[in-house]
Structure formats: structure tokens, C-alpha cells
């Protein structure tokens, strides 16, 4: 193979390479009412027309993958405020046959968005919606795999980082924070122990003085907290051991 015309500038003439399309795909997660939800778009055209898929699109010539990810998400879901979006590169999926039409290399991102805003379809997306993580049917392309990888990555990161606050509104109760862990991990945690751990980690959360909120109207009002300055948890807050994951 030789490089195609116009694509091999000075210095690359002796190289044989094929130009690929480079895209981004986003697995955007959120927690609403104790349920883990994923932001999906309905494909408007073949292949997989009518199927749900992760939001995604081509990287433009002057963009990095990160920049493209934010743009694509804004276009396909119409969500106006992405300032609280937590974006993190997951990995790149490059199997030659992952798109039946042509060679597409996709840089995938795991993303978190608190307080899930209503999305609208846009761009190539017929519609965009939050769907419960457990009930996503078969997705287009290899998006199911990407989504599962993102879920695993986020679950692991909750263990040793302060990422969980990215799922929460600016001010939150410890109960809400705990529900983030429980929802992502699919496990139940002991409340007093969770409290102790979070409060004992310097910089994880800081109290909002004098503020309290009733969670759902019942029970004792809970104190409010903000995210602290720390990013790492040491020692980590481990998931309860389950039979599903290998030790």
C-alpha cells in the first residue's frame, strides 16, 4: 500500500499508511433517584438506524479528541450547560471491523453529569434520552462494550478518587453521596461507616456551615457538604467484595 494522493506530505513519502476516520464516543452516566442512567441517542440512519447508541461523532481537523467530545455532546443532546461535565478518556477502540462501512477508530470517553438535564435530539441523533443502565437493549456498533468498560472504570475510580462528588449537585448530603456509591456499585453500604470514612478523609467534603436539607421530606434533616479540594482517597474506599468480580 502506498499513501493516497494528497495525504502524505513531505517526510512521509516512504511510509505506507491508510487514512482513517477518527471519532469520539461518550458514555455519559448520571444518578437520578437512586438509579444509574446513561445518555443515549437514537440513530437516524443506517447502519443500525433506529437503534440506541452512545453520542459520538467525528473529530474535526483542528480539534483534540477532548474538544470534539464536548462539542459532539452539546450538538447531539442540546444540553446547554456542560460546565459540570466530568470527562475522562477511557480507551480507543480500533478493531478493523467495528464499523461495517469503513475504517473508524474511536476514542471513547467516560463522562459524568450531575443533576441530569433534559436532552434534545440534534445533529445526527433522531432523539436523545437518559435510559436506565440496566435496561439498555442491544446498542449500535460495539457501544455495549464501551458502556460496560466505562461503568467498570467509573466504579473503580470511585474507590480511590473523590470522583463521586461529580455525580452530585454543588451542595449535597452524605446520604446522597452514599447513594451514588451504592447506585454505581450496585451494593449496599453501611451508613455510619460510610460517614466515618468520608469525614475522616481530609479534603473529600467540606461542610456548608449552618445549612441543612430534608431528603425527601422525612427523617432528620441532613447537613450539607461541598466537594473539598482533594482528588484522591487514601486509603481507598473499597467496594464490598462480590462474587461477580474476580479478586
Asked whether position 199 contacts its own copies by CB under 8 A, the answer is no
CB of 117 to DNA, least distance (A): 24
Residue 142 has which C-alpha cell?
460495539
Asked whether position 60 contacts its own copies by CB under 8 A, the answer is yes
CB of 219 to DNA, least distance (A): 2
Q: Is 103 exposed, middle or buried (0-12, 13-18, 19+ CB in 10 A)?
A: middle
Asked whether position 7 contacts its own copies by CB under 8 A, the answer is yes
In the complex with DNA, the residue whose CB is nearer, 34 or 100, is 34
CB 76 within 8 A of CB 128: yes
Q: Which residue has the cell 451514588?
A: 180
The residues in 126-165 that bind its own copies, with binding defined as CB under 8 A, are: none
Binding test (CB under 8 A) with its own copies, winner from 94, 126, 131, 187? 94
The residues in 166-205 that bind DNA, with binding defined as CB under 7 A, are: 173-175, 190-193, 195-197, 200
In the complex with its own copies, the residue whose CB is nearer, 162 or 224, is 162
The candidate with the shortest Cα–Cα distance to 86, out of 14, 158, 137, 148, is: 158
Tell me how far CA of residue 96 lies from CA of 28, 84, 102, 104, 141, in angstroms: 25, 34, 8, 8, 12
The residues in 228-247 that bind its own copies, with binding defined as CB under 8 A, are: 230-232, 234-236, 238, 241, 246-247
Asked whether position 209 contacts DNA by CB under 7 A, the answer is no
Binding test (CB under 8 A) with its own copies, winner from 35, 124, 144, 182? 124
Binding test (CB under 7 A) with DNA, winner from 135, 218, 242, 243? 218
Close Cβ partners of 26 (under 8 Å, ≥ 6 residues apart): 39, 54, 55, 56, 69, 72, 73, 87, 108, 109, 111
Amino acid at each position: 500500500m502506498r499513501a493516497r494522493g494528497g495525504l502524505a506530505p513531505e517526510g512521509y513519502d516512504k511510509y505506507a499508511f491508510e487514512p482513517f476516520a477518527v471519532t469520539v464516543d461518550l458514555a455519559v452516566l448520571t444518578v437520578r433517584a437512586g438509579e444509574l442512567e446513561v445518555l443515549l441517542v437514537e440513530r437516524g440512519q443506517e447502519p443500525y438506524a433506529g437503534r440506541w447508541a452512545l453520542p459520538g461523532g467525528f473529530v474535526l481537523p483542528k480539534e483534540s479528541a477532548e474538544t470534539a467530545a464536548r462539542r459532539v455532546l452539546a450538538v447531539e443532546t442540546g444540553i446547554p450547560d456542560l460546565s459540570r461535565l466530568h470527562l475522562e478518556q477511557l480507551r480507543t477502540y480500533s478493531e478493523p471491523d467495528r464499523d461495517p462501512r469503513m475504517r473508524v477508530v474511536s476514542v471513547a470517553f467516560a463522562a459524568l453529569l450531575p443533576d441530569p438535564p433534559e436532552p434534545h435530539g440534534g445533529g445526527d441523533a433522531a432523539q436523545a434520552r437518559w435510559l436506565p443502565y440496566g435496561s439498555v437493549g442491544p446498542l449500535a456498533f460495539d457501544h455495549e462494550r464501551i458502556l460496560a468498560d466505562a461503568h467498570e472504570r467509573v466504579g473503580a475510580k470511585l474507590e480511590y478518587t473523590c470522583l463521586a462528588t461529580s455525580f452530585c449537585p454543588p451542595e449535597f448530603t452524605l446520604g446522597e453521596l452514599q447513594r451514588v456509591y451504592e447506585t454505581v456499585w450496585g451494593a449496599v453500604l453501611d451508613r455510619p461507616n460510610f460517614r466515618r470514612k468520608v469525614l475522616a478523609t481530609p479534603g473529600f467534603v467540606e461542610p456548608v456551615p449552618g445549612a441543612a436539607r430534608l431528603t425527601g421530606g422525612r427523617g432528620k434533616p441532613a447537613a450539607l457538604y461541598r466537594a473539598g479540594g482533594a482528588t484522591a482517597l487514601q486509603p481507598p474506599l473499597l467496594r464490598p467484595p462480590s462474587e461477580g468480580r474476580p479478586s
